[in-house]
Structure 1
Amino acid sequence: MTRVCFQLRIDPDRLDEYRHRHAAVWPEMLRELEASGRRNYSLFLRPDGLLIGYYETDSATASDAHLAQSRVAAIWEEYMADLFVGRSGRADQAAITLEEVFHLEDQLAELDQHHPHAGTTPPLDDSDPNEGER
């Protein structure tokens, strides 16, 4: 499974409209996203218009290709186009993909595989770091 996180920018003056349109995404578009192989898909919106998206899929390439060929997705992207800042072409294809640098479950699995008995954190040093300066 691949985890994909991306960012786009929404016009800060159009945030309410963006929220309104996503409160009831067209049923056909929801099914198209599902058919593309995307799961656990979420969008997060910051007050300044930064939009962060996240989804999981077996193949990001196949999912993107499916949506690129989809008439429903093309119509949805056209419907949404006026809400994005600095967009050239379809917003879904211009999104900046973010690098994943940490995933808790992956690191726990790695820890359990290589250090099966390491279940606790070493005790913290309670000594005063300024003790020698007194």
Structure 2
Amino acid sequence: MYKGFKMRLYAGQEAEYERRHNELWPEMQEMIHEHGGKNYSIFLDRETLTLFGYIEIEDEALWAKGADTEINRKWWDFMADIMETNPDNSPVATDLHPVFHLD
């Protein structure tokens, strides 16, 4: 199973977003794997500052539980100053509808 989604950066935060992800906390990596996530990539459209995320997950319910972990909420707080967020600091994310897949 896989998911695609989009988020949005604030202007001028491209390098900082990339830096923070290049230094992703080991605890965050562990949480992603423990909640069934793998092969996770994020791409940036520099013209629109739109981020496109792709992740393969084992199970939608297991993956959703990761959002409610302490480390995930800490990550959201850490990222809130450089991207669009909801009142709880979760990123404003829109799931994308899959229209084509090829293995």
Under a length normalisation based on structure 1, what TM-score does the superposition of the two structures give?
Answer: 0.70
Unpaired segments of 5 or more residues in structure 2? none
Q: In 2, distance between residues paired with 1:104 and 1:8?
A: 24
The one-letter code of the counterpart of 2:51 is: L
1:104 partnered with 2:81: no
Shift of 1:41: 0.7
CA contact under 8 A between 1:7 and 1:52: conserved in structure 2?
yes
Give identity over the alignment, percent.
31
Under a length normalisation based on structure 2, what TM-score does the superposition of the two structures give?
Answer: 0.89
Q: In 2, distance between residues paired with 1:84 and 1:60?
A: 24
Q: How does 1:1-134 map to 2 (within 5 A)?
A: 2-47=1-46, 48-65=48-65, 67-85=66-84, 87-88=85-86, 89=88, 90-91=90-91, 94-105=92-103
Question: Number of paired residues?
Answer: 100
Q: In 1, distance between residues paired with 2:9 and 2:35?
A: 24
Q: Which has the larger radius of gyration?
A: 1
CA contact under 8 A between 1:4 and 1:60: conserved in structure 2?
no
The one-letter code of the counterpart of 1:103 is: H
Q: In 2, distance between residues paired with 1:53 and 1:12?
A: 19
Q: In 2, distance between residues paired with 1:19 and 1:8?
A: 14
The one-letter code of the counterpart of 1:61 is: A
Between structures 1 and 2, the one with greater helix share: 1
The runs of 4+ residues in structure 1 deviating greater than 6 Å are none
Shift of 1:103: 0.9
Q: Which has the higher contact order (CA 8 A, sep 6+)?
A: 2
Q: In 2, distance between residues paired with 1:64 and 1:30?
A: 15
1:22-58 CA distances to partner (integer Å, 9 max, x unpaired)? 1110111111111110011111112131100001112
Unpaired segments of 5 or more residues in structure 1? 106-134
